[in-house]
Amino acid sequence: MKTAYFILGMHRSGTSAIGGVLNLMGLEFGSDLMEAKEDNPKGFFENNLVYKLNKKILEESNSSWDDYYFTIDDVLLDRKATYIKEAKKIINNEYRFSQKFAIKDPRICMLFPIWEEACLDLNINVKVILPYRNPLEVAQSLKTRNNFSYEKTLLLWSNHFLQAEYLTRNLDRVFISFDELLYKTEESLNILETFIDFKLNEEISKKIFDFLDTKIKNSNLRLENFTEETPLFIQKTIQILSKKSFHDHQEIDFIRNEFFYLLRLLHDTEIRNILASYPKLEEKLQSEHQKYLLEKEDCERRISEVYEVYTKSKSEISEYESIIEKIELEKSNLNNLHLESLDSLQEVKEHNSKLEEFIEVYKEEKEDFNTIIEELSIDLKKKKELLDEEEKKFNREVSRLQELLQEQKREFEEKNNSLEELANRDKIALREKIKQLQELLQEQKKEFEENNNSLEELANREKIALKEKNKLVDDIKTLGVLQNNTTSNLHNFYLLQQKYLNNQKIIRWMKFLIKPRNKRVLIKKFNQVPLNFIENFNEKEYLKANEDVQMAIINKRFDNALEHFIFFGFNEVKEGKRKILLNSAYYQGDGLDYYSFLENFYQDANLIFNIKKPDTPKEIEGKKHSKKSILITTNNSDKRYLTIKESGLFDYKYYIDSYKVGEEKDLIEHYLHEGEKNGNKPNELFDPIWY
């Protein structure tokens, strides 16, 4: 599969040096290369066809290479497919027979998606090399070459670098420093050698070192050498270059968003369109003025011709008048001769007749000529008046346009001043917000570290508690606490084990064991739970699956999850109302399910602990009528009544002392019909309102 290597970097950033090195390493740049110039004597390594297409795209998008507002979105959608087609044609013609080739033009930093799509359509793999250089050095170089201001160059550099970085994130790419290419050449060559899969030999290495003359770089500034007056987004970008943290997309995106936000803030499209129309308006004015001058010149030429005719005619009239005078003189002479000689009278008459005819013709011609002269004078006068009116109208239009231009300039300056003030206020507010966010980040970081330490400490306490719980279970097995129901033995066991219990929650649980009012309930409930369930109880997963238990522990209704499981959870799990996760799934072995295991457990429990199985309904019915029983009910078929009584969780003494109910009443019946509605508790630990 063919591979195209795109060199994407700002002008004067070492792109030509990278191009020369890649050319010496065997990459093809095409046949029609741009000629070297005085400011780049070793060559640009740019293909003229690629350059012309990129220039054409920018020009048809009303932009150029030094337009720092331009993005790929400014390319007309209906023209994009045509540009991709032209790019494919160039690639096919210039690199048809090359397995690996390189394309270089700084304009591709902004137009990369067009060339990328062209390569993908041709099934060509795309890799990117991103040369970079200190933007302040680039600014000095462009000031010398193009007389650009530092501010314009920094905006151009930011636009090229940030767009090239963003548009190539999903591709295989490498960043090369111009300084390191010149002064740490071996390291840079190792990176390029690996990136393009090429093995350098001694001969090629020597040619590369000869090509990379340090004199091609006239300015040498450290990346850290910038003042506080440098724009904040430039400072942050330089820090990215200095640390080479090109993988920090979040920071780079923040810089890019801030850069384009400031551009949008300082760039009013309406004003830009007005300013863009000024050259066209001025061109139109120049065209109209040229047209006026041509018409004026034509009119003057025609006036001059008419005047020449008039002058010529006037001269001819003078000649005719002179002839007439001569004729009159001759006539007078003839008359004298007539008087002198009658013989010549007839001849004189004939001659006189001819003269009269000639005079008559002359008079007619003179009248016709005067008529023509008069018409020409009237037409000339009208045209002169028309020209004067056109000139006045044109001068008024020029004055109006000049006034409009001055007014728009004043509006632009006012808007520009307002935008600068707004930008300064937003910049101050943005810095304040960034400062607040940094402080909040520090606080959250500190809180996270404290929480992390607390979690580690809690995990250590849980490990200690688990060991103590296992030891407690072993001691219970060994001493047979549950086989002897006397309070003194429980108390002695607690005193014996207390010195081994460091976890305060386990100590509180042991204290609860020896409370006389809970002793009977605890022993009954403890004996109903398989000991293996307690040994393999997974407290963390139990709390994770049951959020209500977490809240009960937080509200100090229970000391730990095991306590809740013994009193309530085990029966709720058995009834399918609650989940339980144990450390081992022993009850699934040998084909036994959960309920058959419980049945086997109760059968084996009599041998291990001498535990009596729960009373059957008939046994419960017989106990209700015993003399010692104070529980009398009129609703013995009530399922809830039987369930509460069989559970052993109803604390009669607690209920009588807490709610002042007489012993002659059926306390469970009282709880079901009255106490539950009033929020009474059946024992000290159970809270029906919370459930």
List, in order, residues 6 or more apart from 472 with CB less than 8 Å away: 497, 501, 506, 510
> 396-411 burial, b if ≥16 CB within 10 A, otherwise e?
eeeeeeeeeeeeeeee
Highest mean pLDDT among 120-134, 343-357, 473-487, 623-637: 120-134
pLDDT at 470 over 50: yes
- Tens digits of residue pLDDT in 582-640: 554 433 334 444 444 444 444 443 333 333 344 444 444 454 444 333 232 333 335 67
322-336 average pLDDT score? 80
Q: Is the pTM of this model over 0.75?
A: no
- Tens digits of residue pLDDT in 232-272: 888 888 888 888 999 999 999 998 888 888 877 765 555 55
Q: How many angstroms separate the CA atoms of 102 and 113, rounded?
A: 16
Question: Domain residues of the chain, as ranges?
Answer: 3-244, 272-447, 480-612, 615-691
- Tens digits of residue pLDDT in 83-110: 999 999 999 999 998 999 999 999 999 9
Contact 7, 102 (CB under 8 A): yes
Of 465, 461, 484, which is closest to residue 473 (Cα–Cα)?
465
Contact 32, 93 (CB under 8 A): no
- Tens digits of residue pLDDT in 279-294: 677 777 788 878 878 8
pLDDT for position 274: 57
Contact 597, 587 (CB under 8 A): yes
pLDDT for position 53: 95
Give the H/E segment covering residue 454. Answer: helix 345-479
pLDDT for position 522: 63
pLDDT for position 235: 83
For residues 562 and 91, the model is more confident at 91
- Tens digits of residue pLDDT in 497-524: 444 443 444 444 445 444 444 555 666 6
- Tens digits of residue pLDDT in 150-198: 888 888 999 999 999 999 999 999 999 988 898 899 999 999 999 999 9
For residues 333 and 189, the model is more confident at 189
374-394 average pLDDT score? 81
pLDDT at 563 over 60: yes
Domain 3-244 has CATH 3.20.20.140: no
- Tens digits of residue pLDDT in 203-228: 999 999 988 877 777 667 776 666 77
Contact 175, 130 (CB under 8 A): yes
- Tens digits of residue pLDDT in 425-456: 867 877 787 787 778 778 777 876 776 676 66
Listed in order, strand segments (DSSP E) in 340-403 are none
